[in-house]
Amino acid sequence: MLRVLTFIQQILSTPAIFVGLIALLGLLLQKKDAQTCVKGTIKTILGFIVLNAGADVVQKAIIPFGDLFQLAFHVEGVVPNNEAITSLALSQFAVQTASIFALGMCFNILLARFSKLKYIFLTGHHALYMSCLVAALTQIAGLAGIQQIVTGALLLGLVMAVFPALMQPTMREITEDDSLALGHFGSGCYWLSAKIGKLFGKNDDTTTTEDVNFPQGLSFLRENTISIALAMFVCYIVVAGVANFSSPAEAAEIFDGSNWVLYSIINSITFSAGIYVVLAGVRMLINEIVPAFKGISEKLVPNAKPALDCPIVFPFAPNAVLIGFFCSFIGGIVAMGILALMGHAGLAVAIILPGAVLHFFCGATAGVCGNATGGLKGCVAGAFVHGIIATFLAAGLYPVLGALGFANTTFSDTDFTLVGIIFGNLVRFVNGNTFTVIVLVLFLIPIVWNYTVGRKTKAAE
């Protein structure tokens, strides 16, 4: 039995396989033939693997940029990183995290079936990270055993439905469709970025990031892979150059024997190649998962939408991806400076350094959201504010995790920090049983609302 449970857990915690099984289930519910089922399942898994492979390439190219930035400008502090804090927390809460993860997905489907939150969260690694955070929060609340797992799973299932619902109006603006949802725990700031974009307004004459006109001699920059590579090269060559001449020994370790100019060229082009692979994987995944999901929507959870990882929005505004990253990173630098001034003023705050991974994936998504509602100005402003807010929220979560002995890192994406700050501070004022009741009530509210107010509204219509 234990081996069977372990096998099931491994399937659920392997995102590509899990998404492939979801696609297979959808195809089977539509009574597709064996050939279509095999083809659709494999292509879904393949698309997810290609997407992740591209994301890995991007991360490997962008992480050294963050390291060189810290070295070049001699800044020290905490770098928010989901993977780092999760690996630390798993050493203490492995069993609780795995159990909350599996049961939380069931509660997500349950909520989608019986409420108006028709979103099934398919970004497995983010669900795992949130499971880890929730396990830590329930531990702080003094819960243990079955009560801790059920309480944590209820909270996980709730946030897996609420945040995609929050983002759906913006997703309609981005995709001009209603078949896809965003399943990425940075939604709080994506939503804010879209709202900031609306302040600038958008009409037929609004200049979007994709309308940027290049001079005739620079028309080759219209090709995204070229413009991304050149823009990243400019950033890399400046940061790498400063690091090389100010701290040559430490910089040499990062360059790993390469010349700093050659290193900048290779990494900037590698970054662009990673983006190209991500976009290819996204297109393949969308082309397969949306038709396959029709079966689940029709048979199991009427009107359900698949909530997928943030790169699904990148093809809709490729220029906004790069602009969003730069503006968010600048916002992170500004926020870091403010935190440093607060520290000098005697306020006990963590200095949060701008993490390149956070500001690329989340900042780029915020840029796409701002562009969808406010064009180029909305992209710049929305992503910049994202960089500031994400940094301050990471600083706010740091003391909560510090109580568990996790030092020198924290969660990065804003939904993790929001959930951690809200519920991490809540447990200071209520006991474990009260915390469980609060979470249960929050989970049941959408269901009760659907069967009371929702039905009355539908009848009135």
- Integer CA distances (angstroms), 338 to 332, 347, 349, 414, in order: 10, 11, 10, 19
Q: How confident is the model at residue 193 (pLDDT cuts 50, 70, 90)?
A: very high
pLDDT at 264 over 60: yes
Average pLDDT over residues 5-13: 66
**In this predicted structure, what is the pLDDT of residue 437?**
95
List helix spans (H) across 74-117.
82-114
pLDDT surpasses 60 at 16: yes
pLDDT over 70, % of the chain: 89
Residues 293 and 298: their CA atoms lie apart, in Å, by 9
What pLDDT was estimated at residue 186? 93
Under the banding of pLDDT at 50, 70 and 90, the label for residue 418 is very high
Which is more confident, 435 or 351? 435
**Per-residue pLDDT tens for 229-244?**
887 888 889 889 998 9
Is the separation of the CB atoms in 122 and 19 below 8 Å? yes
For residue 171, pLDDT over 90 is answered with: yes
Helix (H) or strand (E) holding 120: strand 119-121
Structure tokens at 343: 């520290």
Q: For residue 457, what pLDDT band results from cuts at 50, 70 and 90?
A: low
Q: Give the mean pLDDT of 200-222.
A: 69
424-438: average pLDDT = 89
Nearest to residue 126, comparing CAs of 61, 48, 180, 186? 186
Average pLDDT over residues 392-412: 76
Which DSSP string do the residues of 300-329 spell out, in sequence order? TSTT-EEEE-GGGGGGG-HHHHHHHHHHHH
- Domain ranges across the chain: 2-460
CB atoms under 10 Å from CB of 232, counted, come to 25
Mean pLDDT (the chain, rounded): 84
Of 415, 426, 439, 441, whose CA–CA distance to 149 is shortest? Answer: 439
Kindly state the helix (H) or strand (E) to which residue 335 belongs, with its residue range: helix 318-344
Residue 55 has pLDDT above 90, yes or no: no
Residue 256 pLDDT > 90: no
Higher pLDDT, 404 or 198: 198
Structure tokens at 459: 């009848």
What is residue 364's predicted lDDT score, i.e. its pLDDT?
92
Question: Is the CA virtual torsion 20, 22, 28, 32 positive or negative?
Answer: negative
Tell me what pLDDT residue 1 has. Answer: 60
User: Mind listing the pLDDT tens digit for each residue in 100-158?
Assistant: 887 888 899 899 999 999 999 988 778 888 988 999 889 888 888 899 999 999 999 99
The yes-or-no verdict on residue 210 having pLDDT over 90 is no
| pLDDT-above-90 percentage for the chain | 32
Mean of the pLDDT values across residues 2-23? 72
Angle CA(137)–CA(143)–CA(146) in degrees, nearest 5?
A: 115
Contact between 254 and 70 (Cβ < 8 Å): no
Tokens of 205: 């004459």
